[in-house]
Amino acid sequence: MSLFSRFMDGWRKYRKPGYYDEFDYHWTMTVDLDSCTGCEACMTACQAENNIPLVGEEELAKGREIQWIRIERYWEGEYPNAKLNFMPMMCQHCDAAPCETVCPVSATYHNQDGLNTQIYNRCIGTRSCAVYCPYEVRYFNYYNHHWDSPLDQQLNPDVSVRGKGVMEKCTFCIQRIRDAKDLAKDDDRRRVRDGEVQPACVQSCPTKALTFGDRKDTESQVYQSMNNPRAYKVLDELNTDSSVVYLKKVDA
């Protein structure tokens, strides 16, 4: 390549978070708002899988919850025509993530699977990523957390326990993705198949409102969802290029 085209190539890569030519996988989640009942099974499953700390009543009163996936509530109308809509909200793993540009130490970056990853031991706790995230899905550890023994026996050894001063958020259960990729690699170097890896929330959802997969795989469920006429993205107008596709609730 000529010097100029090398430069232009580098420039194109530089403009994209992660600087990749192409992602290995492109993990995507679909949330069917028509099926979500707001039961919050996903929240507890996530807590169990990812060692989410128990913040306690006092800290919750100060507004310091840590909920990698949360259910938002939006009431519509008034009695007797009131309706309640639930919106599961987790890290959208945006391809044009505002949080990635602002971290001064690159503790958050886009990896080769299209995931927005948080490196706990690099984080110095400026909390600017939480400010820049329009979905407000980043949570800060204001204290070191404590589990009354023996509740700590339940902690998942595949996931770090975060100390104070560090930012955390949904990782699409990257430990499960890594495991699945490892297994697939051992198994004749194939790719991970659709449905082989599910984050804890997707696995637990009683109505199957959540699906997860690789949108590069055109046979996958998530790829079909993206072509569903009901598909949309939350705060799409901000052009964050999120990886979570929501399916509109049906008015019937």
What is the C-alpha separation between 71 and 77, in angstroms, rounded?
A: 19
Contact indicator for 199, 172 with CB cutoff of 8 Å:
yes
Q: Segment 181-200, which members bind another protein (CB under 8 A)?
A: 200
- Residue in 1, 186, 189, 227 binding another protein, rule: CB under 8 A: 227
Min separation Cβ 116 and another protein, Å: 14
Q: Where are the beta strands (DSSP E) in 64-198?
A: 70-76, 83-89, 108-110, 116-118, 139-140, 167-168
Count of positions on this chain that bind another protein (CB under 8 A)? 124
Min separation Cβ 212 and another protein, Å: 14
Q: Segment 30-49, which members bind another protein (CB under 8 A)?
A: 32-35, 37-41, 43-45, 47-49
Residue from 182, 148, 144 nearest 166 by CA = 144
Contact indicator for 143, 105 with CB cutoff of 8 Å:
no
Work out whether 112 is an interface residue with another protein (CB under 8 A): no
Min separation Cβ 3 and another protein, Å: 18
Residues 6+ apart with CB under 8 A from 136: 130
SS3 assignment, position 81? coil
Min separation Cβ 7 and another protein, Å: 15
Identity of the residue, 72 or 187, whose beta carbon is nearer to another protein in the bound complex: 72
SS3 assignment, position 127? coil
Work out whether 57 is an interface residue with another protein (CB under 8 A): yes
Q: Segment 125-164, which members bind another protein (CB under 8 A)?
A: 125-128, 130-132, 134-136, 139-144, 148-151, 153-157, 164
Identity of the residue, 184 or 231, whose beta carbon is nearer to another protein in the bound complex: 231
